[in-house]
Amino acid sequence: MKVFVTRKIPGDHLEKLKSEGFEVHVSDDNRILTNEELLAGITGADAVLSLLTDKIDGDVMDAAGPQLKLISNYAVGFDNIDVAEAAKRGIIVCNTPSDEVNEAVAEHTWALILALARRVVEADEATRRGAYKGWEPDVFLGTNLIGKTLGIVGLGRIGSMVARRAAGYKMNVLYNKRAPDPEAERELGVKFVTLDELLSSSDFISLHVPLTPETRHMINKDTFAKMKKGSYLINTARGQIVDERDLVDALASAQIAGAALDVFDNEPNISPELIANQKVITTPHIASATWEARNKMGEQAVSAIIDTLKNVKPQNMVDEKVWDIRRK
């Protein structure tokens, strides 16, 4: 059976596929594949190990052929895959959620919060270009976190881990999700509020919702207008949740004091206005980039392929119902 891997991944997990006797084809190009390259590589594959940057729709699935049984996505998110089209064809889709990934993203979120609060990136850049001439009383003044309010939009696994760490800074934590979570409130000391109240009351707003039609550009000119003046926005979820044009305007008007972004509306293309703005910290979609997280992701993605091709139900199926109508 043929397995197509769209890009080399860290670790030796792909060797496990070879040891199982599968014919493993790994893209020679260490970059995002074009659609034409993806179509060529996936043709004849029984399983594909894809990345979040691989857009897999019904046409790509059909190009693979009727033998395609599984798309194993090396990511927690799966908005790059048309899951409904896969289900119609009996193709299983798996992803790679884990505590290791969640912890990594939560830690990166806090790295960005701290960098914003204490203007770490600006200070580092100034020091490197020789602007540091000695201690001064009013250079790169930031803000303390103690006593401030952190607003978490989406209190899932990652959002909860972010909230847990806020206790160390004695921050007040507000959250918004579809419904109140009394268990999380007892465990984490967080408070459920409406989105409008969260926006108007929070000094730092951290996004942790999945990308859906409902959340696409949910942070826009209307929501920016409701934010507490001088607040900060952190996004380690999905870039399309924030309307970047409106973000640029909110920064220019000083409605918000800064933003830290690990994800972008049109990755890998980033608005030049955001790149040039010293109030913005950018990182290249690396929130889950730890050895521990990547190792777990590789282990899960490969295990899903081995199990599926051995007719064993894999873990982390995006749509469990597909198992009963799967291709064999």
Cα separation, 192 vs 179, in Å, equals 8
Please list the ranges in the chain whose pLDDT falls under 50.
none
Q: How many CB atoms lie within 10 A of CB 169?
A: 17
Amino acid making up residue 136: E
pTM of the model: 0.91
CB 80 within 8 A of CB 53: yes
CB 233 within 8 A of CB 251: no
Query: 122 in helix, strand or coil?
Result: helix
Kindly list the structural domains of the chain, giving each domain's residue range(s) and its CATH number in brackets, ordered by start.
2-95+290-321 (3.40.50.720), 99-282 (3.40.50.720)
Q: What is the pLDDT of residue 170?
A: 97
Q: What is the pLDDT of residue 29?
A: 86
Task: Tell me the per-residue pLDDT of 125-148, one tens digit each, with 9 for 90 and over.
Answer: 999 999 999 999 999 999 999 999
Q: What is the pLDDT of residue 237?
A: 97
Q: What is the pLDDT of residue 30?
A: 86
Which residues form the catalytic set? 238, 267, 285
CB 170 within 8 A of CB 146: yes
Q: What is the pLDDT of residue 269?
A: 93
Cα separation, 311 vs 288, in Å, equals 30
CB 181 within 8 A of CB 192: yes
Task: Tell me the per-residue pLDDT of 231-286, one tens digit each, with 9 for 90 and over.
Answer: 999 999 999 999 999 999 999 999 999 999 999 999 999 999 999 999 999 999 99
Q: How far is CA 211 from CA 78, 174, 306, in A?
A: 9, 21, 29
H or E segment to which residue 72 belongs: strand 70-73
Q: What is the pLDDT of residue 132?
A: 95
